[in-house]
């Protein structure tokens, strides 16, 4: 379980998170949505310990994450932009990350085969396309079998075949009882894969519920128009 209590985050005079209260519990896929600047990535990075909140508390399994870096060993994270060292090859990067996480004996071969990365293992990361880098990013994210997975815009650069594989991988991880938290601008992907929608607006949770409930609430025929309606309501 992830519990967030009265979470605030300011960047100078800019208040990004404004007292968020949120509980994420039980296996499933939780989509954090909202317009640009709503606080999605900041919230995720606060949970990951990459950004220190101005005030408030974050608990993982009923224990505060403050000054407790070891909780990160239970988290796999896919960043929105994969800034890999361009002079390393794919296999060198994978070996380095396994060593850093002290799991050098993990076998990445099933993921390499599934994502069709075999031809690129000896190629330098700086020479790869954006889509291929994202597949490397996914390999590193799903390799360590942690109980919590955070995916920030996981569909970036993926072709339709790779997108289908990503959906299958997420469903498989959910079936293992994991909590998966993601952000995405692709509403069709969100609707298909998510169990719960958390919509942020101006640093607060504006809506929480399933995609079907949101469509019923807004009386819109499809998910993308239901999401757009939330923004229209706010601007009325």
- The string of pLDDT tens digits covering residues 139-198 is 999 999 999 999 999 999 999 999 999 999 999 999 999 999 999 999 999 999 999 999
Pair 136, 90: CB distance under 8 Å = yes
59 confidence band (pLDDT: 50, 70, 90): very high
Pair 32, 40: CB distance under 8 Å = yes
Residue 233: is its pLDDT beyond 70? no
Q: Which domain holds residue 54?
A: 2-235
Three-class SS state of 59? strand
Residue 145, sorted as left (phi over 0), alpha (psi -120 to 50) or beta, turns out to be: left
Span 37-61, average pLDDT: 93
Span 16-32, average pLDDT: 95
Residue 37: is its pLDDT beyond 70? yes
pLDDT recorded at residue 234: 59
DSSP 126: G
Name residue, tokens 């700086």. Answer: 126
Pair 88, 125: CB distance under 8 Å = yes
Reported as a single tens digit per residue, the pLDDT across 209-220 is 999 999 999 999
Bridging pattern class, strands 148-152 and 75-78: parallel
Q: What are 17's two structure tokens?
A: 């998170």
Span 75-89, average pLDDT: 90
89 confidence band (pLDDT: 50, 70, 90): very high
Bridging pattern class, strands 75-78 and 2-11: unpaired
Span 104-123, average pLDDT: 96
- The residue ranges of DSSP E strands in 75-216, in sequence order, are 75-78, 148-152, 179-183, 196-201, 204-209
Span 14-23, average pLDDT: 95
Residue 235: is its pLDDT beyond 60? no
Is 114 exposed, middle or buried (CB count within 10 Å of its CB: 0-12, 13-18, 19+)? middle
83 confidence band (pLDDT: 50, 70, 90): confident
Residue 52: is its pLDDT beyond 80? yes
Q: Can you give the CATH number for the domain in which 122 is found?
A: 3.40.50.300
C-alpha to C-alpha distance for 16 and 157, rounded to whole angstroms: 28
Span 6-13, average pLDDT: 95
Buried b (16+ CB within 10 A) or exposed e, 178-208: bbbbbbbebbebbbebbebbbbbbebebbbe
Name residue, tokens 């100078």. Answer: 12
- Give the total number of structural domains in the chain: 1
CA distances to 51, 82, 157 from 129, rounded to whole Å, are: 29, 12, 9
pLDDT recorded at residue 16: 95
pLDDT recorded at residue 231: 80
pLDDT recorded at residue 236: 41
């Amino acid at each position: 379980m992830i519990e967030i209590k009265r979470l605030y985050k300011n960047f100078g005079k800019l208040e990004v998170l404004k007292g968020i209260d949120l509980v994420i519990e039980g296996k499933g896929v939780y989509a954090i949505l909202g317009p640009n600047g709503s606080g999605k990535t900041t919230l995720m990075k606060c949970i990951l310990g990459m950004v220190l909140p101005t005030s408030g508390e974050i608990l993982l399994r009923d224990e505060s994450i403050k000054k407790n870096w070891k909780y990160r060993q239970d988290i796999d994270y896919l960043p929105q932009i994969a800034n890999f060292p361009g002079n390393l090859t794919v296999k060198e990067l994978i070996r380095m990350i396994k060593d850093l996480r002290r799991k050098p004996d993990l076998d990445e071969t099933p993921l390499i085969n599934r994502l069709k990365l075999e031809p690129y293992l000896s190629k330098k990361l700086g020479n790869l396309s954006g889509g291929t880098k994202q597949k490397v990013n996914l390999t590193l994210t799903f390799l360590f079998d942690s109980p919590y997975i955070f995916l920030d815009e996981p569909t970036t650069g993926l072709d339709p075949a790779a997108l289908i594989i990503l959906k299958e991988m997420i469903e498989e991880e959910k079936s293992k009882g994991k909590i998966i938290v993601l952000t995405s601008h692709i509403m069709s992907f969100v609707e298909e894969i998510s169990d719960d929608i958390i919509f942020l607006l101006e640093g607060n949770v504006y809506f929480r519920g399933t995609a079907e409930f949101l469509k019923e609430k807004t009386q819109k025929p499809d998910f993308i128009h239901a999401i757009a309606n939330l923004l229209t309501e706010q601007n009325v």
